[in-house]
């Protein structure tokens, strides 16, 4: 279910000069903010949780997920170069699984690693805040990559829809409408982080059991449906 050639092409597409600059901008901003906050206010557990929860998990992780998830396949469908892959003797679900693995890996590296660094800068991992939010970023990376890979497969406006979900639904409605939080990858990942931290600094509106089931279900269903949609794409010679 993994093809090295597809993976190499996907990595090359995602880590090209322009996209790599975009992927690296938010992590650098997070670390810069963390350095400034630490210099101004010192080590404070609550401040660390606020920065990591309000910027890293709520903004940086989903945006990087949008870039990596949609960028793993969307541009190839838009410019027609996906025909090259579809013409090869590679099962189409294998293409999706491979691209998902690459998208997850890229999202994790550009979101979880800087989250961990920022957490240690802010408070030296006091009350396990840095580790808890890093685990949340890792878990969220999987779900976001699957969701946005699916969007890249079904829509030419995947980036727009992805940003609407990440910034409007999760960041805006998720903070204002209690019921919306149940359908939020951010809240699901926070439930895992709450278990890791074991304290009151990290909280979620979703129970750990519910969060685990929803994270797994969304990831599996999004990946499966993306594979089905790719199956439905036909080459001119196949018709």
Comparing 52-61, 102-111, 129-138, 230-239, the range with the smallest average pLDDT is 230-239
The pLDDT assigned to 171 comes to: 72
The arithmetic mean of pLDDT across residues 199-210, rounded, is 89
The pLDDT assigned to 239 comes to: 40
Nearest to 219 by CA among 56, 101, 115, 110: 101
Share of the chain above pLDDT 70, in %: 94
Give the chain's radius of gyration (CA, Å): 18
- Which tens digits make up the pLDDT trace of 38-86? 999 888 999 999 999 989 999 999 999 999 999 999 888 877 778 778 8
Nearest to 148 by CA among 133, 166, 135, 132: 166
Q: pLDDT grade, residue 92 (50/70/90)?
A: confident
The arithmetic mean of pLDDT across residues 12-29, rounded, is 89
Decide: 2 and 101 in contact? Cβ < 8 Å. Answer: yes
Mean pLDDT for all residues in the chain = 89
Q: pLDDT grade, residue 237 (50/70/90)?
A: very low
**176 pLDDT more than 80:** no
The pLDDT assigned to 234 comes to: 57
The pLDDT assigned to 235 comes to: 47
């Amino acid at each position: 279910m993994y093809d090295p050639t597809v993976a190499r092409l996907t990595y090359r597409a995602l880590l090209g000069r322009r996209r790599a600059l975009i992927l690296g901008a938010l992590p650098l901003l997070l670390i810069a903010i963390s350095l400034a906050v630490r210099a101004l206010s010192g080590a404070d557990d609550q401040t660390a949780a606020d920065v990591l929860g309000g910027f890293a998990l709520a903004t940086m992780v989903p945006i990087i997920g949008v870039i990596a998830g949609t960028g793993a396949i969307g541009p190839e469908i838009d410019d027609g170069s996906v025909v090259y892959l579809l013409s090869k003797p590679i099962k189409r679900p294998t293409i999706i699984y491979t691209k998902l693995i690459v998208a997850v890996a890229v999202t994790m590296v550009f979101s979880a690693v800087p989250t961990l660094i920022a957490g240690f800068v802010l408070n030296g991992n006091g009350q396990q805040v840095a580790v808890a939010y890093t685990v949340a970023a890792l878990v969220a990376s999987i779900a976001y990559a699957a969701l946005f890979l699916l969007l890249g497969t079904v829509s030419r406006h995947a980036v727009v829809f992805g940003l609407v979900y990440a910034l409007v639904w999760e960041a805006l409605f998720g903070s204002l409408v209690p019921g919306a939080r149940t359908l939020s990858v951010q809240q699901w990942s926070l439930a895992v982080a709450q278990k890791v931290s074991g304290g009151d600094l990290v909280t979620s509106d979703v129970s750990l059991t519910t969060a685990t089931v929803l994270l797994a279900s969304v990831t599996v269903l999004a990946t499966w449906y993306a594979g089905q949609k790719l199956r439905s794409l036909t080459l001119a010679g196949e018709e």
